[in-house]
Chains A and B, each alone.
Chain A
Amino acid sequence: MIALSDYLILSSIVFCIGLAGIFINRTNIIMILMCVELILAAVNTNFIAFSYYGSDLSGQIFVFFILTVAAAEVAIGLAILTLMYRNRGSIDIDVTNTLKG
């Protein structure tokens, strides 16, 4: 039978793949947003596995709220991306250094 630890290991592997994706594609904002989505999917799998094996529905409801917040985040993120492309003509992260922080 599949134990809880199998699901936890699977989601940790996918989480690390998403982390590596942010490292590798760190100049492309769209890829970074998609890697964040990947990380969120891994975390949600964790929540649902705990909810199933612990027989508690609160985990699934938390995943529901995470999906809501992630959808709002993507909508605003892509709007900012469109605005940035309109103003600068590029979505390269290295171009966005005008603040000189």
Chain B
Amino acid sequence: MEFTSILFYVFSLFFVGSSFVMIVSRNTAKAALWLILTFFSAASLWLLLEAEFLAITLILIYVGAVMVLFMFVIKMLDTDQSTLRAQFTRYLPLGIFVSLIVIVQMTLVLNAGPFDLDTVGLPEQHGASYSNITAIAQQLYTVYVYPFELAAILLLIAIIAAITLVHRTQVKSKKQNISEQINVQAKDRMRFASIKKNSTKESK
């Protein structure tokens, strides 16, 4: 067995195992940590497939930004775990049943032969001077330049939408509002409060 095959099986074991532990873990924060391990093993598998740029991107963006955002929201919202997990076991058999059927079907189809080594074969081997980032950049900035700019616009819209959704407007500035000053009435300025003379609560 080759060394890359051993690496593939080790990373696959981590990929499948940590994703399984993630979906059955009862604590949402622990599930997020297991998902981070899943992303790391996925990035390692992508490194085996010579997709270095995407592997680094997965770690930097997903583990560094998205999962930190998840942890932030999980810790900030402080959800009640007991009500969230009340129906945990109720849908467990159905979920396992559906997934097992899909796994068996996909394995049967994929093992039938159209994707194995005899049909597809091995990919062409690149030399040591081959750079994945250079190749991706040459494609991305020539053929896919308009989708690239669309993705930038999409991210801008996402920023605006997220800020607009959660931002609370606070009135902090003490600027002069002239129309309010002109329209003010006497009853707004002074308030008469009726106070009882012999209040018994003061003696206590």
Is B120 touching A17 in the complex (CB atoms < 8 A)?
no
| A5–B89 alpha-carbon span in the complex (Å) | 33
**Which residues of chain A are near B77, meaning CB under 8 Å?**
30, 81-82, 85, 91
Residue of B whose beta carbon sits closest to that of A85:
B77
**Which residues of chain A are near B53, meaning CB under 8 Å?**
60
Is A13 touching B84 in the complex (CB atoms < 8 A)?
no
Chain A interface helix/strand/loop/mixed: helix
**Which residues of chain A are near B111, meaning CB under 8 Å?**
5, 9
Question: What is the total number of residues of chain B having a CB less than 8 Å from a CB of chain A?
Answer: 86
Is A48 touching B155 in the complex (CB atoms < 8 A)?
no
Closest 8 CB pairs of A and B: A23-B95, A21-B23, A72-B158, A16-B99, A12-B106, A20-B99, A20-B95, A5-B115
Additional A-B contacts beyond A30-B28, A38-B19 (12; CB < 8 A): A16-B100, A17-B20, A19-B98, A21-B19, A21-B95, A30-B74, A34-B22, A45-B46, A57-B135, A64-B54, A67-B62, A81-B73
